[in-house]
Amino acid sequence: MPTKPYDIFISYRRNGGYETARHIYDLLKRDGYSVSFDQDNLMNGNFDKALLKRIAECKNFILICDADVFSRTIKEQGDKEHDWLFVELAEALKLDKNVIPIMLHGFTEFPEGLPDEIKDVRYKNGPQYDTAYFDAFYERLKQFFVEASADDNIVIKETSEKMKISLLLEHGWHCYNQGKYNKAMDYFLEAADMGSANAINAIALYYFEGHGYERNLQKAAQWFRYAAEMGYASAQRNLADCLLKGLGVTPNKQEAFAWYMRGAEKGNSKSQYMVGECYANGWGVEIDQIKAQEWYEKASCQGYEPAIGKLETKE
């Protein structure tokens, strides 16, 4: 009797993500999904081929993101073939699976320094895990299980405005990663019209990087500012970078420092590092090496590699 292909593959770290993965697996199985969850039942026989076959079969790939999910991946890049979470995610991205990150408490953003094979995961959108409103989280998760037609005209079901924005972002980054920049921009513009700071930041990146459009740093800085003023931490950092370096705007180190600080206070690791740099170099603020070290330490605690290298050795 042929085995039913898997609808969903769940990838997780045993330390930090197992309990959540198991809970979601049990619920999805209850609701009739075919889910590949545990590596244990693959240990007999050719484990790696069976694992990759399951990923190839699945339509949706759930990634459980705990606070330390990428720590090993970043630190042990020379031994990537033995990091199964890396292997699984790299294969899912290579095969253009519908990757859905679930952000657990303590996971604030995708870190810098991810290997090239998986760095595009930072463009994927998924739900924030919420124990207080778990039923709402679980229903939202299932809304991410969508399929695209051959021409990428994805039909988004009638749903809440917040959910629709999430789906627009997911489909936008899906097209973006395939180089279908005009189609992706359509999704981002629709999400931006609905008030998504994430989408506004994405549009700014379009102008900043020149993907599908002529590079325009002035427009990029303008769109970064829109999203930054809405409180979006990544846009606050991007706007600060523009102000510090004079990219599309008149250089203003004092204002750059203020925006870095706002992003840092939201837990953005690069912003925390740059606050440290501002204190260390006197960019927009008086030099204060003690405060610089304090901010480097905050960024390093999130695994931001440049900050780790700036920490002073304590005797």
Mean pLDDT of 200-214: 87
Domains of the chain: 1-145 (3.40.50.10140), 269-315 (no CATH)
Closest CA to 245 of 265, 269, 274, 267: 274
Query: What whole-number distance in Å separates Cα of residue 65 and Cα of residue 11?
Result: 9
Mean pLDDT of 238-267: 95
256 or 18: which carries more pLDDT confidence?
Answer: 256
How does pLDDT run across 86-103, given as a tens digit for each residue? Answer: 999 999 999 989 899 998
Query: What whole-number distance in Å separates Cα of residue 287 and Cα of residue 79?
Result: 40
Q: What is the secondary structure of 215-237 as a DSSP string?
A: --HHHHHHHHHHHHHTT-HHHHH
The whole-number pLDDT of residue 63 equals 96
Task: Say if residue 189's pLDDT is above 70.
Answer: yes
The whole-number pLDDT of residue 44 equals 46
- Confidence bin at 160 (pLDDT 50/70/90): low
The whole-number pLDDT of residue 157 equals 45
Task: Say if residue 260's pLDDT is above 70.
Answer: yes
| CB neighbourhood size of 167 (10 A) | 20
